[in-house]
Amino acid sequence: MEFDIWYLGLAAAFGLFMAWGIGANDVANAMATSVGSRALTIKQAILVAAVFEFAGAFMAGGQVTSTIRKGIIDASQVEDNPELLIFGMLAALLAAAVWLLIASRKGWPVSTTHSIVGAIVGFAAVGIGVESVHWSKVAEIAASWVVSPMLSGVLAFFIFMSVQKLILSTEDPLGNARKYVPFYIFAVGFILALVTLLKGLKHIGLDITPAQSVMIALASGVVTMLIGIFLIKRLKIDPDEDAEFRFTNVEKIFGVLMIFTACGMAFAHGSNDVANAVGPVAAIVSIVKTGAVAQQSALSTWILLLGGIGIVLGLATYGWRVIKTVGRSITELTPSRGFAAELAAASTVVIASGTGIPISTTHTLVGAVLGVGIARGIGALNLRVVRNIMLSWVVTLPAGGILAILFFFLFKGIFYNGPVG
């Protein structure tokens, strides 16, 4: 093809921009509960995310990715005209990245998956043909707007109610925290290992049965619990600190928990959501190399590296805006509340992976934070912030689609000189 070097250069640039958007928006809200509850400082969260998101993206981000994310368009429609798919994928990357930049500037936690899906649907419907879009897949993804936050919100509500019943509402909250928190740590280790095995490491092609996954997760839970018990014993407990706030020392113990949830969620998220940035890049590279459209595209190491670096840069430069919204603006979080939200979000991801329900990490976590807030009464929620977040979710698919259509025709006008597609 005439403009191969241009296609590759733009794919790398837009892929990096999209990965930056994932870091600025998606990763930020995965870290938000840890920062909002003050279990981690913003600098510590960036460090944890830099290590674990990058490790997840690079080590478990996949050797093979579907050319068309989520199977939402029929690639056979452009077999005779593969350049159209290049323009479409470039347009989708740039459109989703621009929308994530706008949302991150506003502090809106939007779904990176929905951003890229909206963009791909937009260019495909207008640039290839309405019949090329698998609308049933799009409907499934749209349904996840409701399923994700509701499921995680209900789980977070009950997890936090159990914390209140077993620890916070008892006569000896500190003693009960020492007694019961190790079991919560076990649950965190177990659930996050399952998230990684079912959702994260599926890309590598490890042949692990569901039963083996559960056994490995159980072992991980036990190891995590033992590490947690060791760290809790090393905490400096000062009874005088409870004078102003009765649960100061109890929250220190939950702070230990939050470190585990932050690391695990970052790894699982990096391994899964990096595909939103690297999938279209891999598709473009594959078409440039072979001149043909393939449903699967091999992932070069440099593409995963690009995704990992972009994610870390996005969180470090712009992530604080979304962290502030999710971690501090929806409801006041403490380590115990933040833990309930993150465990609920992780559990929802596991349930979705096992049942095939399409979900959004963003919607899941925001729903969990809402569930924790509702457990304390509707007055604990900032309803204006909640309304703005919901509106940003609704706007994401059409915003990605409209921008992608504009960029698609821009690239087609600049580069295309073949038959009308």
Spell out the domain ranges in the chain: 4-415
Burial class (CB in 10 A: 0-12, 13-18, 19+), 47: middle
Q: Is the pLDDT of residue 328 over 70?
A: yes
Among 216, 280, 374, 342, which residue's Cα sits nearest to residue 11?
280
**pLDDT the model gives residue 64:** 40
Among 152, 81, 140, which residue's Cα sits nearest to residue 113?
140
Of residues 53 and 350, which shows the higher confidence score?
53
* Sequence-ordered alpha helix ranges (H) in 274-300: 275-290
**pLDDT the model gives residue 111:** 85
**pLDDT the model gives residue 140:** 80
Average pLDDT over residues 42-49: 84
Decide if 53 contacts 244 (C-beta within 8 A).
Answer: no
* Highest mean pLDDT: which range of 136-150, 171-185, 350-364: 171-185
**pLDDT the model gives residue 358:** 64
Average pLDDT over residues 107-117: 87
pLDDT tens digits along 147-159: 888 999 999 999 9
Q: Could you tell me the two tokens for 49? A: 């995310």
Q: Is the pLDDT of residue 299 over 90?
A: no
Please state the φ and ψ torsions of residue 82, each to the nearest 5 degrees: -60, -25
Cα 348 to its chain centre, rounded Å, is 12
Of residues 406 and 277, which shows the higher confidence score?
406
Cα 302 to its chain centre, rounded Å, is 22
pTM score, whole prediction: 0.82
Q: Is the pLDDT of residue 294 over 70?
A: no
Among 22, 48, 92, which residue's Cα sits nearest to residue 275?
22
pLDDT tens digits along 178-224: 999 999 989 888 887 877 776 555 555 667 788 888 999 999 999 99
